């Protein structure tokens, strides 16, 4: 009886030992499976995060490239327009002093030379020039009548010739003054144009820089949000893995 009881105890111990080994082997397999699953999850997450980060980087590079191309086009267009404005601006309005024969004909017809002007200031100068010529003509005719009335006939020819030469000199002087007025006006217009173009260039650069700053700020915020999401997902995965490992350990 004693031997039988000892044998039964030994068989029971062997059975329990075998089950314990099976349990340990099963647990080891679960741990190994957990570790493989964990490694796979980490690799997959790392791959997904890398793909997202690459996509964001490419998107940001494309946005910056498009923005800089737009900025270059805007600056080129402004420079082209400025160059066209300078090209269209009259460099000079050359005025020939009217030949005396032409002036005499215009005086007789009371019809003064007509010059082409495009701007209001030029029209004002033209009007002043014509009015001055008209005044000179009236004065010339009045003086001529007076001379004819008071000068002996034999001296009239010489006096009239001298009067015509004086009138020609005055008209020549008026023409020179007219040209100088036009030159001064064009110089002022050129200065104003240069100043306005410079202001416009500064305004464009400021606006483009502001738009670029807005874009870079948005991209920076976008990168920070993406990084925060990746950190959050990594933490969530670490927590899941830790809980799963703890459950396995608790079953040990």
Tell the residue number behind the tokens 């997904």, with chain if given: 48
Domain that holds residue 98: 1-250
Contacts with 136 (C-beta within 8 Å, 6 or more apart), sequence order: 167, 170, 171, 174
Helices (H), the chain: 2-88, 100-109, 120-150, 153-250
Nearest to 42 by CA among 198, 225, 181, 242: 242
Instruction: Measure the CA–CA gap between 130 and 119, rounded to whole angstroms.
Output: 17
Which token pair is 47?
């791959």
- Would you tell me the crossing angle of helices 153-250 and 100-109 to the nearest 10 degrees? 90
Contact partners, residue 201, CB within 8 Å, separation at least 6: 78, 82
- 252 half-sphere exposure, CB direction, 13 A CA radius: 14
Task: Tell me how far apart the alpha carbons of residues 246 and 185 are, in angstroms, rounded to a whole number.
Answer: 91
pLDDT mean for each 10 residues of the chain (252 residues): 69 78 81 90 95 96 96 91 76 43 44 43 73 81 78 77 81 79 70 75 92 96 96 95 86 64
DSSP state of 91: S
What per-residue confidence (pLDDT) applies to 2? 65
Domains held by the chain: number: 1
């Amino acid at each position: 009886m004693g031997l039988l009881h000892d044998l039964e105890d030994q068989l029971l111990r062997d059975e329990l030992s075998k089950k314990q080994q099976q349990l340990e082997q099963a647990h080891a397999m679960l741990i190994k499976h957990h570790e493989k699953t964990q490694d796979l999850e980490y690799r997959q997450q790392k791959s997904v995060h890398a793909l997202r980060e690459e996509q964001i980087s490419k998107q940001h590079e494309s946005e910056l490239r498009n923005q800089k191309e737009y900025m270059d086009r805007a600056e080129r267009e402004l420079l082209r327009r400025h160059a066209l404005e300078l090209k269209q601006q009259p460099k000079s309005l050359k005025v020939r002093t009217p030949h005396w024969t032409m002036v005499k004909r215009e005086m007789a017809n009371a019809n003064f030379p007509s010059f082409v002007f495009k701007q209001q200031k030029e029209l004002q100068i033209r009007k002043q020039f014509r009015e001055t010529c008209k005044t000179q003509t009236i004065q010339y005719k009045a003086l001529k009548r007076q001379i004819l009335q008071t000068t002996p006939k034999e001296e009239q020819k010489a006096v009239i010739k001298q009067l015509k030469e004086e009138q020609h000199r005055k008209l020549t002087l008026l023409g020179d003054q007219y040209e100088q007025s036009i030159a001064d006006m064009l110089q002022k217009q050129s200065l104003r144009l240069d100043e306005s173009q410079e202001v416009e260039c500064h305004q464009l650069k400021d606006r483009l820089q502001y738009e670029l700053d807005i874009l870079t700020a948005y991209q920076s915020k976008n990168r920070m949000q993406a990084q925060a999401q990746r950190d959050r997902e990594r933490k969530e995965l670490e927590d899941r893995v830790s809980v799963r490992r703890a459950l396995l350990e608790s079953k040990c």
